[in-house]
């Protein structure tokens, strides 16, 4: 290749729909088609250069006229003996990249090469805020909440992970207080508001949406809370105040409230009669309703300390969930197309002397196959240039298993759930102990947040209203309960308990060792004091049972038949020994030991026979 024929640079060049084909017609009959961009060998004779009609049709009007003019000029120009420019191929694209194809004839060989200039574009600047995937994500809070709810409802991994976070750490709630009377008051309140179910709903909203607004209604007649429920975060507005830790929380009237105020329905009218007039007026004007901080709370999963609203853990896997859905949508389309394989009917031959069908012949052949679609004894009689193929999808389906595994791993990481907990695959439960211990520590943090909210927003106001105080060192303190949750066993319990038992068995029971028995009970989710009380209760019951069995063995058959199986057994008193008087209804108790002396005192009978000390005087 000569010096004036440069190699193409490493650029992104896009060929036209049908490449330009140079045809050499020595005899005007059979066109000669050399391979594109390769060295070919042609006879040394006069050639007439032209371009195929199909290639011309693929060009635009202006470019088509330009190519035809260049071909006419080169065919008419005799000064280009030995070197002829074939034409120009312009690649369509947003980068406007131009390449020139040229041909030369040297020593009887036709050489085709590329040359031209390149237009370089400025590279795209990277920003994580303006990625194509990020531009499709929601920006407003209401749409973000809708996405989180949709993924929770439709994706099994998201639903199970959120339910695990929301229920496992607080699957059991126990309220204990030093004063049993005050404890009963707290338990009555918890039963009235269904505190355990309210805490479950608050936890689910916290993990799914990233924030929750519990609203508690106080019954002043009973000095306790009457209702606890969650406000819809889509209609709650939070404004920061200069006071640290205090925010102004307002409620925007939702369509249901507007319907209650504007409707003439008797049911809605009954609701309006129970509502405050100022509240009705604010709803009618569609104004924000301020909520008292005594009743409303704001629990949020903070990504930063200065954010007004919380962020759900689902947000971190939005893009992976979108990609998951796109792959699944493609699989749906693929499954629909794979119901029946595609039928390919070829009519005609590709060689120069073969049969080239017209459009009318192709249409007629299509009609023949459509009419014979449901004919069980279908036959066709035609020339040999007809071929029928059934193309299936055995090798045409893209394998996305590695992509799906990558997406699944990202989803589990973003939702903070070890894969072994949800799928029970991969690492064993014992080998995943480090990850399980990490999630246990996160759950402890969540428990602390829920306990603080219950103490400060639920029990403390009730204790203050009911004057539940105790005096410690001359100062009054509120009597608040202790919140105990269920025991989390996110580790190998058998190994852990085995180590604790080994520490206890190192010394005698009376010798202090490295761990107490209360730790063993607590590790198993049991209360040591409760178990001691249960053991005493069982010991009493077993002693009673032993006495009852002994009393039954002394009864006659007729007495046994009169017993009630559900009633306790009455112990039968033994008969007095012979010679010992028994107490009777006509004899006072002080006469059971003998006759009284003068004046009601016992008679002094002197010392017993044979000497001895006289009896002691009566006390």
The per-residue pLDDT for range 263-308, each reduced to its tens digit, is: 888 888 888 888 888 888 888 888 899 999 999 999 999 888 888 8
Which pLDDT belongs to residue 86? 37
Chain centre to alpha carbon of residue 121: 43
Q: How many CB atoms lie within 10 A of CB 429?
A: 14
Evaluate the CA torsion angle 316, 320, 322, 328 in order and state its sign: negative
Find out whether 152 and 208 touch, Cβ atoms under 8 Å. yes
**Structural Rg of the chain based on CA atoms:** 48
Cα 275 to Cα 260, 272, 278, 281, 294: the distances in Å are 11, 5, 9, 10, 19
CA distance 551 to 442: 59
User: What band does 559 get if pLDDT is binned at 50, 70 and 90?
Assistant: confident
Q: At what angle do helices 277-284 and 255-262 cross, to 10 degrees?
A: 110
Q: Assess contact for 345 and 369: CB atoms under 8 A.
A: yes
133-169: string of b/e by CB count within 10 Å (b at 16+)?
A: eeeeeeeebeebbebbeebbeebebbeebbebbbebb
pLDDT band (50, 70, 90) for residue 614: low
Domain boundaries defined on the chain: 22-115, 138-252+288-336+406-486, 339-370+381-392, 493-526
Q: SS3 for 251?
A: strand
| Rounded Cα gap, residues 379 and 387, in angstroms | 14
B/e letters for 476-509, b = 16+ CB within 10 Å, e = fewer, are: eeebbbebbbeebebbeeeeeeeebeeeeeeeee
Q: Give the dihedral sign, CA 14/16/19/22.
A: negative
Question: What rounded mean pLDDT belongs to the chain?
Answer: 75
Q: What is residue 7's predicted lDDT score, i.e. its pLDDT?
A: 37
In sequence order, what DSSP letters do the residues of 49-86 get, joined into one string? EEE-HHHHHTS-HHHHHHHHHHHHHHHH-GGGTTEEEE
Identify the pLDDT of residue 113: 47
Range scoring the smallest mean pLDDT among 54-68, 300-314, 405-419: 54-68
The Cα 322–Cα 329 span in angstroms is: 10
Phi-psi region of 600 (alpha: psi -120 to 50; beta: other; left: phi over 0): left
Cα gap 426→439, rounded to integer Å: 18
For residue 95, give every residue at least 6 positions away whose Cβ sits within 8 Å of its Cβ, in sequence order, or none: 12, 119, 121
Question: Quick one: pLDDT at residue 318?
Answer: 95
Q: What is the mean pLDDT of residues 489-511?
A: 63
Q: Tell me the residue length of the chain.
A: 619
> Has residue 599 got a pLDDT over 60?
no
* 98, 83 Cβ separation under 8 angstroms: no
Predicted local confidence at residue 193, as pLDDT: 95
pLDDT of residue 153: 95
Number of H helices, E strands in the chain: 20, 18
Q: Which residues of 87-117 are buried (b: 16+ CB within 10 A; e: fewer)?
A: bbbbeeeeeebebbbbbbbeeeebbbbbebe
pLDDT digits (tens, 9 = 90+) for 420-476: 788 766 555 555 677 777 888 899 999 999 999 999 999 999 999 999 999 888 899
Q: How far apart are CA 592 and CA 193, in angstroms?
A: 64
Across the range 59-84, mean pLDDT stands at 61
E strand or H helix that includes residue 255: helix 255-262
Higher-confidence position of 24 and 408: 408
What backbone torsions phi and psi does residue 85 show, to the nearest 5 degrees?
Answer: -90, 125
Q: How far apart are CA 80 and CA 441, in angstroms?
A: 84
In this prediction, what percent of the chain has a pLDDT beyond 90? 27
- The Cα–Cα gap between 365 and 370 comes to 9
What pLDDT is attached to residue 8? 38
Residue 182 confidence class, pLDDT cut points 50, 70, 90 = very high
Three-class DSSP category at 280 = helix
174, 367, 403, 433, 441 from 489: Cα distances, Å:
18, 71, 34, 11, 12
Residues 91-105, mean pLDDT to the nearest whole number:
41
Distances (CA, A) of 27 to 31, 32, 70, 77, 103: 9, 10, 22, 20, 21
Average pLDDT over residues 3-19: 40
What pLDDT, on the 0 to 100 scale, is given for residue 549? 87
CA gap 346, 344 in Å, rounded: 6
Q: How far apart are CA 182 and CA 187, in angstroms?
A: 9
* Cα–Cα distance for residue pair 158/410, rounded to 1 Å: 12
**In this structure, how many other beta carbons lie within 10 angstroms of the beta carbon of residue 67?**
19
3-state secondary structure labels for all residues of 458-514: HHHHHHHHCCCEEEECCEEEECCCEEEECCCCCCCHHHHHHHHHHHHCCCCCCCCCC
């Amino acid at each position: 290749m000569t010096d004036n024929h440069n190699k193409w640079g490493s650029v992104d060049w896009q060929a036209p729909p049908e490449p330009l084909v140079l045809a050499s017609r020595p005899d005007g009959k059979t066109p000669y088609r050399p391979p594109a961009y390769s060295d070919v060998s042609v006879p040394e004779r006069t050639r007439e250069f032209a371009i195929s009609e199909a290639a011309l049709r693929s060009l635009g009007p202006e470019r088509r006229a330009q190519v035809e003019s260049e071909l006419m000029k080169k065919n008419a120009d005799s000064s280009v003996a030995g070197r002829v420019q074939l034409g120009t191929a312009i690649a369509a694209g947003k980068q406007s990249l131009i390449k020139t194809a040229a041909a030369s004839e040297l020593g009887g060989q036709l050489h085709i090469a590329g040359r031209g200039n390149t237009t370089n574009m400025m590279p795209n600047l990277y920003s994580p805020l303006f990625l194509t995937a990020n531009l499709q994500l929601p920006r407003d809070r209401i749409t973000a909440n809708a996405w989180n709810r949709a993924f929770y409802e439709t994706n099994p991994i998201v639903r199970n992970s959120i339910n695990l976070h929301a229920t496992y750490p607080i699957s059991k709630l126990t309220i204990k207080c030093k004063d049993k009377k005050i404890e009963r008051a707290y338990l009555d309140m918890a039963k009235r508001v269904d505190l355990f179910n309210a805490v479950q709903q608050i936890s689910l909203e916290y993990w799914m949406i990233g924030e929750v607004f519990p609203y508690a209604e106080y019954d002043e007649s009973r000095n306790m809370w009457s209702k606890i429920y969650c406000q819809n975060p889509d209609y709650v507005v939070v404004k920061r105040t200069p006071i640290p830790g205090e925010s102004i929380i307002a409620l925007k009237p939702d369509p249901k409230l507007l319907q209650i105020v504007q409707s003439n329905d008797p049911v809605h009218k009954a609701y309006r009669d129970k509502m405050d007039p100022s509240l009705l007026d604010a709803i009618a004007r569609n104004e924000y309703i301020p909520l008292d901080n005594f009743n409303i709370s704001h629990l949020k999963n903070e990504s930063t300390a200065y954010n007004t609203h919380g962020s759900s853990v689902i947000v971190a896997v939005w893009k992976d969930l979108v990609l998951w859905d796109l792959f699944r949508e493609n699989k749906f389309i693929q499954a629909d197309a794979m119901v029946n394989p595609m039928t390919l009917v070829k009519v005609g031959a590709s060689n120069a002397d073969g049969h080239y069908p017209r459009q009318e012949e192709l249409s007629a052949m299509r009609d023949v196959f459509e009419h014979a679609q449901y004919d069980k004894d279908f036959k066709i009689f035609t020339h040999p240039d007809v071929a029928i193929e059934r193309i299936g999808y055995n090798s045409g389906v893209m394998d996305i298993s590695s992509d799906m595994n990558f997406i699944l791993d990202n989803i589990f990481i973003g939702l903070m759930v070890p894969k072994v907990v949800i799928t029970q695959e991969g690492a064993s439960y014992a080998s995943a102990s480090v990850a399980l211990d990490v999630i246990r520590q996160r759950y402890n943090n969540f428990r602390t947040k829920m306990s603080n909210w219950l103490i400060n927003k639920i029990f403390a106001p009730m204790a203050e209203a009911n004057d539940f105080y105790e005096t410690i060192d001359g100062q009054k303190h509120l009597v608040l309960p202790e919140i105990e949750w269920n025991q989390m066993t996110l580790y190998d319990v058998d190994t852990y308990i085995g180590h604790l038992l080994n520490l206890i068995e190192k010394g005698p029971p009376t010798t202090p060792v490295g761990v107490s028995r209360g730790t063993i009970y607590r590790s198993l989710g049991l209360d040591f004091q409760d178990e001691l009380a249960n053991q005493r209760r069982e010991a009493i019951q077993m002693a009673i049972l032993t006495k009852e069995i002994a009393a039954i063995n002394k009864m006659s058959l007729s007495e046994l038949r009169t017993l009630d199986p559900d009633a306790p057994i009455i112990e039968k008193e033994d008969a007095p020994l012979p010679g010992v008087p028994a107490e009777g209804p006509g004899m006072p108790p002080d006469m059971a030991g003998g006759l009284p002396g003068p004046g009601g005192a016992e008679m002094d009978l002197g010392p017993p026979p044979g000497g001895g000390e006289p009896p002691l005087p009566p006390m």
